[in-house]
């Protein structure tokens, strides 16, 4: 998957949730594709992503400008800090999020519902708000949000609701911001194979019942994919980079499903 070259040449790209998973993979690919980077996360291992991006740029025989920002993007203060540190950017890719628990909705504790929404909606909501004024002032910019095909799925209704909010945010903000020259788009990843998370989203399944509920999520995710498998990190990163690039300049307000046929 390396045929394209220079899709993000001369672009300054801010990527949130860059320490691991889709965010990290997208950062490395963006470096290969010519971008300079600001990488944000609340974990210090985002520095390792910066190093991996440097190595990718060196392999392409180019110099890379890369900076990191440590911030809690579940908060407005964290989003403001990140936007201020990033300065003028061409692209903001919002990759923070991920389901924490898996269980039937009527068994979710209220505080866990709140936590799921704060994890998977507010970082995107806050970052869009934080970067938008400068993009509008400059008359250009692209925001690429990471949603999920799990807007339809079992045992994670709060997460589904949060990602449904990301979809609505993407569509409405695109309509509102287009006159100012700002595009807003999103991808909706399906199940994605990735290395074990070094920073866990939550405690994980503790009981046999919790393990069974999580297994139901996996089974439904695979079954909903026409290809009957999880995707790879590269298969998620490439659509994000494509939508961030000028190749996609006439795509706006769209949520692109990347779930092997699952439309979410």
CB of 170 closer than 8 Å to CB of 255: yes
**What is the separation, in whole angstroms, between the first and last Cα of the chain?**
25
- For residues 92 and 45, what is the distance between their CA atoms, to the nearest angstrom? 20
159 labelled catalytic: yes
d(CA 81, CA 139): 22
Query: Burial of 216 by CB count in 10 Å (0-12 exposed, 13-18 middle, 19+ buried)?
Result: middle
Closest CA to 145 of 181, 50, 162: 162
159, 226, 230, 250: the active-site residue: 159
Write the DSSP symbol of residue 185: E
Q: Which residues contact 243 (CB under 8 A, 6 or more apart)?
A: 142, 144, 185, 186, 187, 251, 256
Q: Nearest Cα to 157, choosing from 214, 102, 215, 98? A: 102
Residue carrying structure tokens 């709060």: 158
Active site residues: 159
């Amino acid at each position: 998957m390396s045929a394209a070259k220079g899709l993000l040449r001369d672009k300054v790209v801010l990527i949130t949730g860059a320490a691991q998973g889709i965010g990290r993979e997208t950062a490395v690919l963006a470096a290969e594709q010519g971008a300079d980077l600001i990488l944000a996360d609340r974990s210090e291992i985002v520095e390792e992503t910066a190093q991996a991006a440097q190595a990718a740029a060196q392999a392409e025989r180019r110099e890379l400008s890369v900076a990191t920002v440590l911030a809690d993007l579940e908060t407005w203060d964290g989003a403001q800090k990140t936007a201020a540190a990033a300065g003028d950017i061409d692209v903001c890719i919002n990759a923070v999020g991920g389901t924490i628990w898996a269980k039937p909705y009527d068994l979710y504790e209220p505080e866990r519902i709140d936590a799921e929404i704060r994890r998977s909606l507010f970082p995107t909501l806050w970052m869009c708000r934080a970067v938008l004024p400068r993009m509008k002032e400059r008359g250009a910019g692209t925001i690429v949000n990471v949603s999920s095909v799990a807007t339809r799925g079992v045992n994670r209704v709060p997460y589904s609701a949060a990602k449904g909010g990301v979809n609505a945010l993407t569509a409405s903000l695109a309509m509102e911001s287009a006159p100012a020259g700002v595009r807003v788009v999103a991808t909706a990843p399906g199940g994605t194979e990735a290395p074990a998370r070094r920073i866990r989203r939550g405690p994980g399944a503790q009981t046999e019942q919790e393990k069974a509920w999580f297994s139901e999520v996996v089974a439904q995710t695979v079954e909903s994919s026409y290809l009957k498998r999880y995707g790879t990190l590269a298969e998620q990163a490439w659509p994000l980079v494509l939508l961030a690039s000028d190749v996609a300049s006439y795509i706006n307000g769209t949520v692109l499903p990347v779930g092997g046929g699952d439309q979410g």
